């Protein structure tokens, strides 16, 4: 009996240098859902133990759109964290918005992806996410489709 190889999806180029390691993570999640059709999808990575009181690993959402031929475009990558006192809420901490070529950080607001140091910020964020993923800190990974 022949084993079926996982579906390998292709990704369109974006304004920041997305690594093959991150694309591999996205591919591993997407390949578990061969029934996906064109449209918008969000992959949600979270540590179910993350809370405002004790911290932990921030939830991450990566929004994608599929064109029907297993070509995906990354629309947005959002890193959330709890903020506020005395009633903390989950809010975006960092967001890489590829649709508008903009980056949001809680402490500096919205900037263009072409602003100084944005590539360094992205590389730091991505390397941390990949290391956390490889260590298994995201014990809840969900795919939502619209």
pLDDT in tens, 41-60: 999 999 999 999 999 999 99
Distance CA 58, CA 56 (A): 6
pLDDT at residue number 22? 96
Asked whether the whole model's pTM tops 0.85, one would answer yes
Report pLDDT digits (tens) over 60-71: 999 999 887 778
Question: Are the C-beta atoms of residues 110 and 118 closer than 8 Å to each other?
Answer: no
Under the banding of pLDDT at 50, 70 and 90, the label for residue 3 is very low
Q: Locate the domains of the chain by residue range.
A: 10-135
CA distance 57 to 95: 16
Q: Which fold has domain 10-135?
A: Nuclear Transport Factor 2; Chain: A, (3.10.450)
- Residue found by looking up tokens 């694309």 in the block: 23
């Amino acid at each position: 009996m022949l084993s079926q190889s996982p579906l390998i999806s292709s990704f369109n180029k974006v304004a920041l240098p997305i690594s093959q390691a991150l694309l591999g993570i996205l591919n591993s999640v997407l390949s578990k859902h061969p029934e996906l059709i064109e449209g918008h999808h969000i992959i949600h990575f979270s540590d179910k133990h993350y809370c405002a009181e004790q911290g932990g690993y921030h939830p991450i959402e990566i929004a994608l759109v599929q064109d029907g031929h297993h070509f995906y475009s990354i629309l947005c990558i959002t890193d959330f964290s709890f903020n506020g006192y005395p009633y903390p809420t989950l809010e975006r901490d960092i967001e890489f918005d590829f649709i508008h070529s903009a980056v949001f950080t809680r402490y500096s607001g919205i900037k263009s992806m072409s602003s100084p140091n944005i590539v360094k910020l992205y590389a730091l964020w991505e390397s941390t996410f990949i290391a956390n993923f490889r260590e298994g800190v995201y014990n809840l990974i969900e795919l939502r489709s619209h």
